[in-house]
Amino acid sequence: MTKKLWGLSLAALLLLSAAPSALAGEMGGAASFVPKGMYRVSIQAGYVNEQKMKDIGGEASSASFASPQQDIKIKEDKHFGAVITYGLHERINVFAELGLVSDGRLSGDRTVPGTSAKQNLEATLKDALAWAVGIKGQLWEHKKGFGVMASARYFRYDDRKVDDWTGTGAGADIKGLGSDTSLDYWQFDLAVAAYWRFKRVTPYLGAKYSYAEGRLSGSWNLGSARGNIDDKYEPESPLGLFAGVDLRLFKRFHLNLQANFYDQTAFWVSGNYDF
């Protein structure tokens, strides 16, 4: 009992003080399951190289100076985080995440009004607090260690400042642009993965369906020109793939490595301790 209280105190400290904190993989930091009544603390880091969003075209709210409207990407985004997982049942785990998204980029093209010329816009995505909750369950497992699991997860951050805009192309570079813009983003994932559990190594491969919305809002000014932005972004593809491996290094500590591809290109690493 004392050991569990110490573990819970450590987990709470990590979640409250983790300046590096954020988003986990689809399976809550690791693919393996925490036994009923036990906890897992995971510390992780991730790098989203690129996530493509749908074109918004004529639906853009900012006609005179557009937010990105075509070939929209969230890229070079850093994630750091802490996750607590609890074993509700031998085959069912719930988890909660608290974290930070940091130093990403929002980029895309806009068609200059009255012309067919395109200008590339790019801005910095500042640091923002992120959180998520989820559940995962074991659907089936063969006695030789091959099995199937599934998960559901809701991830969100709000009021992430978007600043340092630049614009290039279309015969002129934008200089002296001022802005007060922010990005609110949420995503819901449903994932299924097949795994093969060996003594110390568990590789897995999965697919997911995601629905997400990013709302870019605020105002801009360029000399005497001013305007507002209120645009909604959705992922270009709702389907994604991921692959990873759990490595059990000690009795209670293991390492997880995961790569995401198709809907986004990303890489995650986490250290996990069970108690």
What gap in Å lies between CA 18 and CA 100, rounded to an integer?
Answer: 9
> 97-115: b or e for each residue (b if 16 or more CB lie within 10 Å)?
bbbbbbebbbbbbbbbeee
* Ramachandran angles phi, psi of 57, nearest 5°: 50, -125
Residue 26 pairs in a beta bridge with: none
pLDDT, position 113: 67
Whole-prediction pTM value?
0.86
Query: Above 60 in pLDDT, residue 185?
Result: yes
Quote the pLDDT of residue 225: 79
CA torsion angle for 60, 66, 72, 75 (degrees, to 10)?
-130
Q: What is the pLDDT of residues 21-77, one digit of tens each?
A: 333 456 556 678 899 999 999 999 999 999 999 998 655 555 556 578 899 999 999
Average pLDDT over the chain reads 85
Q: Report the C-alpha gap between 178 and 70 in whole angstroms.
A: 22
Q: What per-residue confidence (pLDDT) applies to 177? A: 76
Other beta carbons within 10 angstroms of residue 43's beta carbon come to 18
- In the chain, which ranges are E strands? 39-53, 70-89, 92-102, 104-111, 118-125, 128-141, 146-168, 178-196, 201-222, 225-233, 239-248, 253-261, 264-274
Residues 6 or more apart whose CB falls under 8 angstroms from that of 137 comprise: 91, 92, 93, 149, 150, 151
Find the helix or strand (DSSP H, E) in which 12 lies. Answer: helix 2-17
* Cα 167 to Cα 213: distance, rounded to the nearest angstrom: 24
**Which residue type does 232 have?**
K
Residue 85, amino acid: T
